[in-house]
Amino acid sequence: MRTDTGQIVHLADYRPTDFVLERVDLTFELDPQNTKVEARLIFHRREGVDASAPLVLDGDELMLSGLLLDQIDIPAAQYDATPDRLTIRDLPAETPFEICVTNYINPEANTQLMGLYRTNGVYCTQCEAEGFRRITYFPDRPDVLAPYTITIVAAKEGNTFLLSNGNFLGGGNYDEGRHFAAWFDPHPKPSYLFALVAGDLGLIEDTFTTMSGRDVALKIYVEHGKEPRAAYAMDALKRSMKWDEERFGREYDLDIFMIVAVSDFNMGAMENKGLNVFNDKYVLADPETATDADYANIERIIAHEYFHNWTGNRITCRDWFQLCLKEGLTVYRDQEFSSDMRSRAVKRIADVRHLKSEQFPEDGGPLAHPPRPDKYREINNFYTTTVYEKGAEITGMIATILGEDDFRKGMDLYFERHDGDAATVEDFVKCFEEASGRDLSQFFRWYIQAGTPLVSASTSYDAASSTFTLSLEQTVPATPGQSSKQALYIPLSTALILDNGQIAAPSKVEGGEYKNGVLHLTERSQTFSFSGISSRPVLSLNRGFSAPINLHLEQSAEDMVQIARHDTDMFSRWQALTTLAMPNLVKATNAVRNDAPVAFDAGFITTLIEVIGDDALEPAFRAQVLALPSESDIAREIGSSNDPDAIHQARNAAMAAIAKAGVETLTALFDAFEDKGAYSPDATSAGRRSLRNIAMSYLSFAEETPKRAADAFAAASNMTDLAHALSILTQRFPDSAEAAQALATFEARFADNALVLDKWLSIQAAIPGEGALGRIKSLTGSKHFVGTNPNRVRSLIGTFAFGNPTGFNRADGEAYRFLAEQIVSIDKRNPQLAARILTSMRSWRSLEPVRADHARAALTTIERSPALSTDVRDIVERVLK
């Protein structure tokens, strides 16, 4: 393991390499413990670089075993080799030369899952961001692009397939018991997109004919016996390929596209050129074992990785500071894809929920950073929701500001101008400036300023002059390292709704740009006046969440109800109901803390029940309306001195009150949306299930016994319904015989399916209350919990820390101490995983003082423990700062 050196990398220090890499030729002789890697690299000195400059290659835990220059041994005096660097001096000044590096690595001992490792008997690689340097010495940075030729030699037994990037060149017998395969990837790529997979795997195949008529072979490799569970992923892949052609004019560019599903993987998936590697959780699905959410995630992630072929691979990043160039844009693209495949409004609501519950807390806490940071200590810690999701929001704002046509022109220009480049965020934004003629220099601040802006709005209406006035003021809070902020360019989709539900068409708007329903807020304070408004309108602001901001708008409950009932923008209707719910939940939390009676506004409850009973609305939308703000959303709204127990009780009380008042409507929904007939994962069917299931959650608050959930568990014909029933049983009736029985049945039925047992682990990890920690501790001893597998660890420890506010934040601090021990122990084998789970502590300062003290103490224990990885040290120090 690399332990911390405390070194910080700065964007301002960027400079190109001294040597240009022309070609890469790699030969692997695979062995579980002793794989030989031979790398032949052709370089030439970049023009203008001093003839004495040495070639410096990156390594990580490597040991050099041979080194040739143009096929001749390099004398020891001419180079220095350490585990993390190879420096070669006295290289040709003008002519290209070949360096041949030989080294041996041990895939089986690689528990970090970076570089070449073994997973269930399969060889697999993960190179983003800096994993390639764990395979061989190399200029391991994204601005070094070259075509690769790969030869893989391995025992035939156990390695039916030998896969790498690009097109297949050929293969055959090698020597006794071994065979080989050769691949060539003609598209110059950085090392982080390299991949190699070898093993015995099952395969499903299909073809796709591209828009220019080329046939592409599609292959998905999974563990034997799991082939039928890859059918949905294949379908999603073909739809993604078609969509990228139709929507962005992007065609696939190799003869073959492969996906491999592996069971040990640190993240969701990886876009290696022509050979995507996936966490099997995001490939495998069938109705019996996967939920609707699993299907939606598979569709989204298959699309995401595929879309990277253009946004990430053909055009890559100059350096890791530009990560959001590929990630923010690709998330924007996958969100658009899912919106086209499903309900756009429901998708937007789900994305905004996710943004607010994950990115907003990051942006408002000690780990806040700009989407394009300017320094980092450990790049692995920057694969964050800010880079991904806020990055996607920024792309969406460009589309909103420019409008559809100019946005597409900008994208076309970007693809045309930067194909084959390692680009920067500046390059990207410039394409939109040129395509639209707009100056986006102020807009660019979104990339380099951290923090969620707050927009405060106040309104007035003057009947005499038929004028509506909207005053806006923006502030961006201070974040670590950025105390003062500049005003942002904030596009606010806005409508004025009249009494009759119509949207007003003002005769004139003054005070700033207002075009196609979008207000362009560019000043710190700006007042817009709308003329020709015949009666007092209701303001619907930031429709569709056109900008990722917090909004303060004094609006009466009546106005919000008007929006909730009549806005033509479904997102705004949902938002109005959420905005109505929040003060109720905050007030209830305070009441719980003060031992005062808890009461809810009757108007809010009535409107909610009316909306969910409206059959004209799609079921998935109604389910989103029923899903109240989460406990962490409420904590964020309260802001400081939080008591998670009180929030939990208050939210439950709200659910109980809604259940009581709406029992008829909820029962009717539960009865009407029973799944009849064969399961289909489509969005409409999934929406019906989600409405029925959330209705059942509410009904569990109105009922004394677990009967309804136990019956639903027994009757379930798909995993969505089964897992939901199990959640209700265990969360609402944790001590019941029915809950124990259902857990045992579930465990026995899926005993041989690790991905389903992850649900069994996470459902139990989420059970609230005092008993949680004991349960988690005992589950770490379960035979289903494999501490080396990231999915198992995330399901149990991750769900506990991120998704069980009362259990994790117990007042005695025991759970923080437990987490600290876990982090230190996980860090020894897998620093990336440990660091990510540790980010669950990022909001500790907003807890009430007793809990906050315990949290600080536990974090300090981690900080003081010896030999921490750079990953964990970076997070713990920032969280404590």
Interacting residues toward Zn ion by CB under 5 A = 327, 330
Residues 6+ apart with CB under 8 A from 865: 824
Q: Which stretch binds ligand 0A1 (CB under 6 A): 36-44, 263-271, 727-735, 846-854?
A: 263-271
**Which of 60, 140, 299, 327 is the binder for ligand 0A1 (CB under 6 A)?**
327
**Which of 119, 126, 335, 720 is the binder for ligand 0A1 (CB under 6 A)?**
126
**Which of 128, 264, 292, 362 is the binder for ligand 0A1 (CB under 6 A)?**
128
**Which of 67, 81, 197, 267 is the binder for ligand 0A1 (CB under 6 A)?**
267
Residues 6+ apart with CB under 8 A from 777: 818
In this structure, what is the dihedral angle of CA atoms 235, 239, 240, 243, given to the nearest 10 degrees? 180
Residue 211 is encoded by which pair of tokens? 């828009």
Which among Zn ion, ligand 0A1, none contacts residue 266 (Cβ within 5 to 8 A by kind)? Answer: ligand 0A1
Q: Which residues pair with 472 in a beta bridge?
A: 457, 526
Nearer Cβ to Zn ion (110/330): 330
The 3-state DSSP class for residue 475 equals strand
Nearer Cβ to ligand 0A1 (118/304): 304
Question: How near is the Cβ of 195 to ligand 0A1 at its closest, in Å?
Answer: 11
Nearer Cβ to ligand 0A1 (346/835): 835
CB atoms under 10 Å from CB of 173, counted, come to 10
Q: Which stretch binds ligand 0A1 (CB under 6 A): 207-215, 266-274, 423-431, 685-693?
A: 266-274
Residue 479 exposure: Cα atoms within 13 Å on the Cβ side: 24
362 included as an active-site residue: no
Which among ligand 0A1, Zn ion, none contacts residue 459 (Cβ within 5 to 8 A by kind)? Answer: none
553 and 540 in contact (C-beta within 8 Å)?
no
**Which of 268, 287, 480, 613 is the binder for ligand 0A1 (CB under 6 A)?**
268
Nearer Cβ to ligand 0A1 (113/204): 113
Question: How near is the Cβ of 276 to ligand 0A1 at its closest, in Å?
Answer: 9
Question: How near is the Cβ of 414 to Zn ion at its closest, in Å?
Answer: 17
Nearer Cβ to Zn ion (29/351): 351
Nearer Cβ to ligand 0A1 (127/549): 127
Question: How near is the Cβ of 385 to ligand 0A1 at its closest, in Å?
Answer: 12
**Which of 25, 223, 271, 393 is the binder for ligand 0A1 (CB under 6 A)?**
271
Residues 376-405 that bind ligand 0A1 (CB under 6 A): 383
Question: How near is the Cβ of 330 to Zn ion at its closest, in Å?
Answer: 5
Q: Which stretch binds ligand 0A1 (CB under 6 A): 144-152, 161-169, 260-268, 686-694?
A: 260-268
Question: How near is the Cβ of 303 to ligand 0A1 at its closest, in Å?
Answer: 11
What secondary structure letter does DSSP report for 844? G
Which among Zn ion, ligand 0A1, none contacts residue 182 (Cβ within 5 to 8 A by kind)? Answer: none
Q: Which of 67, 17, 18, 62 is nearest to 41 (CA)?
A: 67
Which among ligand 0A1, Zn ion, none contacts residue 632 (Cβ within 5 to 8 A by kind)? Answer: none
Nearer Cβ to ligand 0A1 (122/270): 270
Nearer Cβ to Zn ion (324/815): 324
Taking each continuous run of H as one helix and of E as one strand, the counts in the chain are 30, 33
Q: Which of 309, 303, 327, 280 is nearest to 129 (CA)?
A: 327
**Which of 37, 216, 269, 349 is the binder for ligand 0A1 (CB under 6 A)?**
269
Measured CA to CA, the distance from residue 778 to residue 769 in angstroms comes to 16
Does residue number 480 form part of the binding site for ligand 0A1 (CB under 6 A)? Answer: no
Which among Zn ion, ligand 0A1, none contacts residue 269 (Cβ within 5 to 8 A by kind)? Answer: ligand 0A1
Does residue number 303 form part of the binding site for ligand 0A1 (CB under 6 A)? Answer: no
109 torsion bin: left (phi>0), alpha (psi -120 to 50), beta (else): alpha
Q: Which stretch binds ligand 0A1 (CB under 6 A): 261-269, 336-344, 566-574, 799-807?
A: 261-269
Q: Which stretch binds ligand 0A1 (CB under 6 A): 57-65, 265-273, 516-524, 805-813?
A: 265-273
Which among Zn ion, ligand 0A1, none contacts residue 576 (Cβ within 5 to 8 A by kind)? Answer: none
Nearer Cβ to ligand 0A1 (327/358): 327
Which among ligand 0A1, Zn ion, none contacts residue 270 (Cβ within 5 to 8 A by kind)? Answer: ligand 0A1
Peptide bond into 129 cis (omega under 30): yes
Nearer Cβ to ligand 0A1 (307/414): 307
494 and 515 in contact (C-beta within 8 Å)?
no
One of 305, 358, 362, 378 is an active-site residue; which one?
Answer: 305
Q: Which of 309, 289, 285 is nearest to 235 (CA)?
A: 285
Does residue number 871 form part of the binding site for ligand 0A1 (CB under 6 A)? Answer: no
712 and 732 in contact (C-beta within 8 Å)?
no
CA 153 from centroid of its chain's CA atoms: 36
Residues 6+ apart with CB under 8 A from 137: 39, 57, 58, 59, 62, 64, 81, 85, 86, 101, 103
Which among Zn ion, ligand 0A1, none contacts residue 311 (Cβ within 5 to 8 A by kind)? Answer: none
Pairing of strands 167-173, 161-164: unpaired
Measured CA to CA, the distance from residue 99 to residue 117 in angstroms comes to 25
The torsion angles phi and psi of 522, rounded to 5 degrees, stand at -125, -20
Does residue number 313 form part of the binding site for ligand 0A1 (CB under 6 A)? Answer: no
Question: How near is the Cβ of 119 to ligand 0A1 at its closest, in Å?
Answer: 13
Is residue 551 within a helix (H) or strand (E), and if so which, with residue range?
strand 550-553
Is residue 540 within a helix (H) or strand (E), and if so which, with residue range?
strand 538-541
Question: Which residue type is seen at 402?
Answer: L
**Which of 55, 64, 101, 270 is the binder for ligand 0A1 (CB under 6 A)?**
270
Q: Where do we find the tokens 């998936």? A: 269
Measured CA to CA, the distance from residue 538 to residue 783 in angstroms comes to 58
Question: Which residue type is seen at 622?
Answer: R
Nearer Cβ to Zn ion (327/363): 327
Residues of 117-152 as b/e, b for ≥16 C-beta within 10 angstroms? bbbeebbbbbbbbbbbbbbbbbbbbbbbbbbbbbbb
Binding site for ligand 0A1 (CB under 6 A): 126, 128, 266-271, 304-305, 327, 383
Q: Just list the catalytic residues.
A: 305
